[in-house]
Amino acid sequence: MADQSHIRNFSIIAHIDHGKSTLADRILELTHTVDPRSMRAQLLDSMDLERERGITIKAQAVRVFYTAQDGETYQFHLIDTPGHVDFTYEVSRSLAACEGALLVVDASQGVEAQTVANTYLAIDAGLELIPTMNKVDLPGAEPERVGEEIAELIGEDPDHVRRISAKTGEGVLDVLEQIVQRVPAPTGDPEAPPRALIFDSEYDQYRGVIAYIRVVDGTFKKGDTIVGMETGTVAEIDDIGFFTPAQLPAKQLGPGEVGYLITGIKDVTQLAVGDTLTTKISGADEPLPGYRDVKPMVFCGLFPMNNDDYPELRDALEKLTLNDAALSWEPETSDALGFGFRCGFLGLLHMDIVRERLEREYDLELMATMPSVEFEITLTDGDVIPVHNPTDMPDPARIAEVREPYIRASILTPKEYIGQIMELCQDRRGNHSGMHYLSADRVQLTYDLPLAEVVLDFFDQLKTRTKGYASLDYEPIGLRPSNLVKLDVLLGGDAVDALSMVVHRDKAYGVGKELTERLRKRIPRQQYDVPIQAAVGAKIIARETVKAFRKDVTAKCYGGDISRKRKLLERQKEGKKRMKQVGRIEVPQEAFLAVLELADDK
Ligand SMILES: Nc1nc2c(ncn2[C@@H]2O[C@H](COP(=O)(O)OP(=O)(O)OP(=O)(O)O)[C@@H](O)[C@H]2O)c(=O)[nH]1
């Protein structure tokens, strides 16, 4: 067991692509943790999907020994954090396992939205920050400007910002020295009842759940019976040890140490991220602070293209849930699409990842409905119900009030795009709540926005309008009352449940008109005229007609400009030959996406 004065626990926090994984790789190499010959680029990103997308999803933790200039050898635990806004809670738990953080900012890009968000999380967690500017080798690096931005963000002298290149290794040893000198050593009580924070967990097919833990007080040994203080889980430790990065069993983990723990439990929700572990015998009474249930924010229906695949889809979801406590699902039946599942996700990226895994790893062809959020409705009889599927909206006559989730969005942008961004936010029913200059040229705009207006394509729109220069981060700020209505779509006089959506009353007319037009272009001609109508309650607000076949018709069924579509849409496009029989009408899968495209071309 290491002497705590020689332990340093730290994370690397950065905006996406600013070089976190590359820096982690360099640290492993410089400390001879991994043999350079066996060094795969970005060793810490283990999942294939992560590697392909170049983003970090799972936090990882690795033990590293570093012999400092003072001649002493220190035991570092490097905890990699996910960089995406969907995974804020995981980031916050990873940070809670540390005493310090390397703040990494790309010297050519500067401070971005997630730099700010993660910096605040690190400050909240009371961490010592070591500001570094990465990629100084790039010809486009602007160390002076970026140094000022970092200094402004954390209130430190720009001269204290370390300049490094994670690619060439320049400056990285200096950063390791900084860690030794500035990051405080852990100060857990070795004699106190044992307590450890679970800051991540993962499911292994053979070994069950692998919990990533940071021991705070006392010692955990193989064979101990442990208790999850929030979940009530009781289990025996089968194996405990360090990540080197491979699992290396140890006799015990003592105060300040970071590693893994395996119990044979098969369900990630039983060893939940944020929970405090203690021992059954002479255990602690008080859990560590900060536990939270993760709640899905974005929902969509997933239906197998082939109805016979329903059991496979259920099976696949069950397996994925073992590994992903944030994924929720329940069976859903749609008249139009058959049997499927209503799934809940942390955010859009999470949704995309789950879909991709289902299609790729489980070889399923899926149809996804439009993402939606969870509304809360007070009925006239006083009952309060959650609604996360537009088809479940009660009759308007029974509704007293509808509330929808809001987020506070923080957008960082060069100042020339302020106008465009304000226009976009206003169009999405946003309320301006603040503006702050980070430097002469870069501005942080704050808006309160309905989450529903953000889940579709807000991020893409933001990128398009700012030529990719703006970055976004957001946090939920609770529910607010809104004048929302359900918009139904009728094909041939019958409502098609999978096309229903919830919109603001003021937007219903415009959305209805646009939606019917788009559907008309996408539904092929049939033997008879097919009326397409949009309705709010019993009131028809828009109508188009798909004319019946005529001999000379060379109907162009699949119109529309897809150049700027999200990846999600493009993938679904591939399935445009997939047809669904809705009543008497053949509807291409593509038509179900018409709703998704609404927000474009504005
Ligand atoms: N020129 C140069 N390129 C770098 C440097 N550090 C990282 N890169 C490149 O920048 C890109 C992003 O680096 P990553 O390490 O994947 O970034 P990340 O922050 O881990 O990204 P996420 O995992 O998505 O959060 C990669 O193409 C790296 O090769 C550097 O010091 N110099």
Terminal CA-to-CA distance of the chain, rounded, Å? Answer: 62
Helix (H, G, I), strand (E, B) or coil at 318: helix
* Residue 523: both structure tokens together: 């539904």
Summarize the confidence of residues 378-401 as an average pLDDT. Answer: 93
What whole-number distance in Å separates Cα of residue 558 and Cα of residue 130?
53
Segment 339-367, tens digit of pLDDT: 999 999 988 778 888 998 899 889 998 88
CA-nearest residue, atom 24 of ligand 1: 55
Segment 423-476, tens digit of pLDDT: 999 999 999 999 998 888 889 999 999 999 988 778 888 988 998 888 888 888
Summarize the confidence of residues 506-521 as an average pLDDT. Answer: 91
pLDDT at site 287 = 93
Q: How far is the CA of 501 from the centre of ligand 1 (A)?
A: 40
Rounded to two decimals, the ipTM of the complex is 0.97
Query: What's the mean pLDDT when you consider all of the chain?
Result: 86
Q: Which has the closest alpha carbon to 19: 142, 172, 128?
A: 172
Percentage helix, strand, coil for the chain under 3-state DSSP, each rounded to 5: 30, 35, 35
Sign of the C-alpha dihedral computed for residues 360, 362, 364 and 367 taken in this order: negative
pLDDT at site 559 = 40
Q: Which residue has the tokens 């646009």?
A: 514
Residues in the chain: 602
Q: How far is the CA of 17 from the centre of ligand 1 (A)?
A: 5
Asked if pLDDT for residue 9 goes beyond 50, the answer is: yes
Ligand 1 cavity residues, CB under 6 Å: 14, 16-22, 42, 54-56, 83, 134-135, 137-138, 165-167
What whole-number distance in Å separates Cα of residue 501 and Cα of residue 514?
13
Q: Which has the closest alpha carbon to 352: 50, 81, 58, 16?
A: 50
Under the banding of pLDDT at 50, 70 and 90, the label for residue 566 is: very low
Q: Is the pTM of this model over 0.90?
A: no
pLDDT at site 561 = 40
Q: How far is the CA of 23 from the centre of ligand 1 (A)?
A: 8
pLDDT at site 195 = 97
What whole-number distance in Å separates Cα of residue 20 and Cα of residue 30?
15
Q: Which ligand 1 atom is the nearest neighbour of the CA of 54?
A: 24
Asked if pLDDT for residue 577 goes beyond 70, the answer is: no
Ligand 1 pocket test: which of 12, 21, 108, 111 has the largest number of ligand atoms within 8 Å of its C-beta?
21
Q: Which residue has the tokens 């960089």?
A: 83
Q: Are strands 73-80 and 7-14 parallel, antiparallel or unpaired?
A: parallel
Q: How far is the CA of 54 from the centre of ligand 1 (A)?
A: 9
Cis peptide before 287 (omega within 30 of 0): no
Under the banding of pLDDT at 50, 70 and 90, the label for residue 411 is: very high
Segment 201-250, tens digit of pLDDT: 888 888 889 999 999 999 999 999 999 999 999 999 999 999 988 889 99
- DSSP labels, 15-67: STTSSHHHHHHHHHHHTTSS-GGG--TTTT--SHHHHHHT---S-EEEEEEEE
